[in-house]
Amino acid sequence: MKEIRVALAILIVLPFSSQAALQNSGSELTIGAASQYAPKYTGSDKYTWQAAPFFEWRSGEWFLNTEKGAGYLHEFNNGLYLGQTLGYSAGRTDEDSWFQEGDKKLRGMGKIKTALTTTSTMGWWMTDWLGFEGNIIAPLTESQGMQYNIKLNAVLFDDDNDTVMVSTERKYGDARFNNTWFGVNNKQSVDSGFRKYSAGGGLNAVDYSINWQHSFNDTWSGYADLRYTTLPERVRHSPVTDKDDYFTFTIGAFYTF
């Protein structure tokens, strides 16, 4: 799955970026870097550190960044927002990699190719501190299946210098998507030695996270995110899954022009 080690450029996740975008109609450029401690691939029991650059350009409702890609996000007066994004999934390899999810334990499973994707988003900030968001992610290349995500965000603290938010997200995939990442077909079974397995469609992960952003001044800011992920039964029983729950920690610094 693309949530872990998608690529160096996508490791920095800003869960409150949608809310911030809705409050800022100007044009700005942000650059930065972060480090993340995460499993080598979804379901792995081995962890690794990675460094990641970050870039974002935003002008009104249009944006281009290394997390989501290029897109458009429009807010209505009642807090509802709609967006469309063109991005990508970096895939997975069956060897150690600094660019993609992967581990040599998966040797024989073959590579999950990089895919161009489109994401449709709808969200609603019901109050200044509580909002939810849903999105549908569809592949435009490499038929890897559909993803459906539902997320609830709650702002615990917000002032001129600090924002603290907690979130929970349920992630679903159709049968093609879940089998791409967690299934083992006949050829893969022969080549890798894993038993055959069909994951089926449905829930594939649940995330719980807390994140903090601190503004040092008008240009410099820092960010930290701690995330706990659990994998449900259809993923837990896959032969490629060694661990069905894990933590991910990300920390970064950013400069806005």
Residue range 86-144, pLDDT digits in tens: 999 989 999 988 778 999 999 999 999 999 999 999 999 999 999 999 999 999 988 88
Report yes or no on 143 lying in a domain: yes
Please state the domain count of the chain: 1
Which pLDDT belongs to residue 1?
A: 53
What gap in Å lies between CA 69 and CA 117, rounded to an integer?
9
Per-residue confidence band for 153, with pLDDT thresholds at 50, 70 and 90:
very high
Q: Is 159 exposed, middle or buried (0-12, 13-18, 19+ CB in 10 A)?
A: exposed
State the amino acid at position 74 in one-letter form: H
Could you tell me if 12 and 210 are in contact, meaning their C-beta atoms sit under 8 angstroms apart?
Answer: no
The whole-chain average pLDDT of the chain stands at: 90
Report yes or no on 84 lying in a domain: yes
3-state class (DSSP) for residue 21:
helix
What gap in Å lies between CA 220 and CA 94, rounded to an integer?
39
Which pLDDT belongs to residue 209?
A: 98
3-state class (DSSP) for residue 18:
helix
Report yes or no on 3 lying in a domain: no
Report yes or no on 1 lying in a domain: no
Report yes or no on 216 lying in a domain: yes
Which pLDDT belongs to residue 13?
A: 43
CA angle 196, 44, 36 (to 5 degrees): 145
**CA-closest candidate to residue 134, choices 79, 185, 171:** 171
Using one digit for the tens of pLDDT, what is the confidence trace for 167-224? 999 999 999 999 999 999 999 999 999 999 999 999 999 999 999 999 999 999 999 9
Report yes or no on 2 lying in a domain: no
Could you list the residue range(s) of the whole structural domain that residue 130 is in?
A: 8-256
pTM: 0.88
